[in-house]
Amino acid sequence: MTSDGPVGSESVARDPDALIRRAGARGDPNRDQHFLVDDRVVDRIPTYLPDEADRSHVLEIGGGPGVLTDRLLRAADRVTVVEQDETFAAHLRREFAEEVEADRLTVVEGDALDVELPEFTACVSNLPYSISSEISFRLLPTGKPLVLMFQKEFGERMAADAGTSEYGRLSVSTQHYGAVEVCEHVPREAFAPKPAVQSVIVRITPREPDYEVDDEQFFLDFVKALFTQRRKTIRNGIRNTAHISGLSDPEAVVEAADEDVLRKRAGNMAPADFARLARLAAETGL
């Protein structure tokens, strides 16, 4: 059951269409604004947080008219929303005035790529797809559980296994920080206005990788470098991408690496394989 009017946190959930009407502005595809209007989907999103996740302070990126914000306030002790659009930021403060007054909701107006993010315990967001990569790699190093909405192809690449066509740099880099699962496919019709693409909800549960990385930035740069040559063997990838990886002596790495590894291609290298090769590369080729 949903309500058309503003309600307190103990009442029924707010109706998405009514929230959009009260905001006084609709989503603008040209500004990457597509708002969830399917109650069934938005109700499920907070439930995808891991059972053990700390819900004391949940971060939301891109609150818009507050459809997901409303559900998060029912699932969390506190919520901080980062919203760049001043119209929607003002609406959120007005719509959830009681929660703001009670210090259960903080609205930060600004670009999520630039503002100082608060200390949060989990992040649940319907992200603007144009900043999916940048904001994800701002959130991932925090080591907090994430439940994020992405364009279908992007989310599936995050979760892809080695040896599949979707597997790439994004897969390795994301899985370095946590276990990645696609929780739900979301149709275009769940949004207003409808986006041109299908969407997925992805859960990223932080965990320590089952391999060691001495220099995380070099590891990520090395993975990036080799995937720019994904159709070539690892041998040629190392030789051709020193300007990306930062290697000063790529030939020394080739000479030190195992021949079986050198014959592989990046798409068939598991994250642990990249980690071992990156450690060898740092020891012999920097």
Known binding residues for S-adenosyl-L-methionine are 34, 36, 62, 83, 111, 126
Tokens of 105: 């909701």
Which candidate, 234, 228, 230, places its Cα nearest to that of 257? 234
Query: Which residue's entry shows tokens 């965990």?
Result: 207
Beta 199-206 vs 178-186: how paired, if at all?
antiparallel
Sign of CA dihedral 53, 141, 129, 185: negative
- Note the Cα 202 to chain centre separation in Å: 8
Q: How far apart are CA 219 and CA 1, in angstroms?
A: 49
Single-letter code of the amino acid located at 65: P
Q: How far apart are CA 280 and CA 275, in angstroms?
A: 9
43 near 26, Cβ under 8 Å? no
Q: What phi and psi values does residue 60 have, to the nearest 5 degrees? A: -125, 130
- Say how many residues make up the chain: 286
CB atoms within 10 A of CB 161: 10
Sign of CA dihedral 162, 164, 165, 167: negative
Which candidate, 152, 164, 169, places its Cα nearest to that of 224? 169
Q: How far apart are CA 35 and CA 141, in angstroms?
A: 27
Q: How far apart are CA 236 and CA 257, in angstroms?
A: 12
Which parts are annotated binding residues?
A: 34, 36, 62, 83, 111, 126
Query: Which residue's entry shows tokens 């450690």?
Result: 279
